[in-house]
Amino acid sequence: MYSCQLDGIINIKYMKTAIVIGATGLTGSHLVDFLLKDDRFNKVLIFVRRPTHKFNPKLEEYVINFDHPNEWRHLVKGNVLFSALGTTIKKAGSKDVQYKVDYTYQYQFAKAAAQNGVPVYVLVSSVSADPNSRIFYTKMKGELERDVKNLPFQQIHILQPGQLEGERNEERTLENVSLKITKALNAIGLLKQYKPVHGRIVAEKMVTAAFSKLPGLHIYKLNEVFNVQDN
């Protein structure tokens, strides 16, 4: 392990290995690009369901079956776990499958990382995440946040951005319509706190958060995501 703790401040100057799940999504793909260009990392491990066909000397790709943690949990070793996995009901086909991707897989990875001594965890969640919500999506996100907070990481960083924008591999018609409405309202001064954020910015702020020197839990809400600092 490359990190140590001195007088309540975590020294992560020598952070070397990043672990990423959700590497092929909107935020995750930008995240991997940032990590591969960042000299502070000499190794980037990505866990995916299908080959990405990305090649880089720093990149180690593991094509896995997320349903079989016994086959991969021993590989989840490094200095920071970045969790950007997620899907939609349309793509998943049902709420049960979406829950498995957005909650179960991410929690299992976080648990494996914590058990293997990974000190830093960075999660991209969602605005209004609440385990007591009556809305399926925000309840699911809230349950994940609630449960990962209890894992023994030295640092936990949770980003709760509003709507994400950027080019995706699949069409999301309803999200695109909602995004246009939000932008139109922003233009006339309404719902400013729900300003959409590009997936590239969230990815950049995930990396920034990972180099915070302060231990403990840190949650960045809505527009706070734009101002994440590596204090």
**Domain segments of the chain as ranges:** 4-171+199-227
Contact (CB, 8 A) for 13 and 38: no
**Selection from 52, 8, 9, 11 nearest residue 33 by Cα:** 52
7 Rama class: left (phi>0) / alpha (psi -120 to 50) / beta: left
Beta strand pairing status for 59-63 and 43-48?
parallel
For 25-80, give the DSSP string: SHHHHHHHHHHHH-TT-SEEEEEESS------TTEEEEE--TT-GGGTGGG--SSE
* 123-169 per-position pLDDT tens digit: 999 988 999 999 999 999 999 999 999 999 999 999 999 887 655 45
* 160-197 per-position pLDDT tens digit: 998 876 554 555 454 444 444 444 434 444 455 566 77
CATH superfamily of the domain spanning 4-171+199-227: NAD(P)-binding Rossmann-like Domain (3.40.50.720)
At 193 the pLDDT is 55
Q: What is the pTM of this model?
A: 0.84
52-60: long-range contacts at Cβ-Cβ below 8 A with a sequence spacing of 24 or more? 52/23, 52/24, 59/32
What values do phi and psi take at 13, rounded to 5? -55, -35
SS3 132: coil
Return the amino acid letter for 213.
K
Q: What share of the chain is helix, strand, coil (3-state, %, to 5)?
A: 40, 20, 40
At 168 the pLDDT is 45
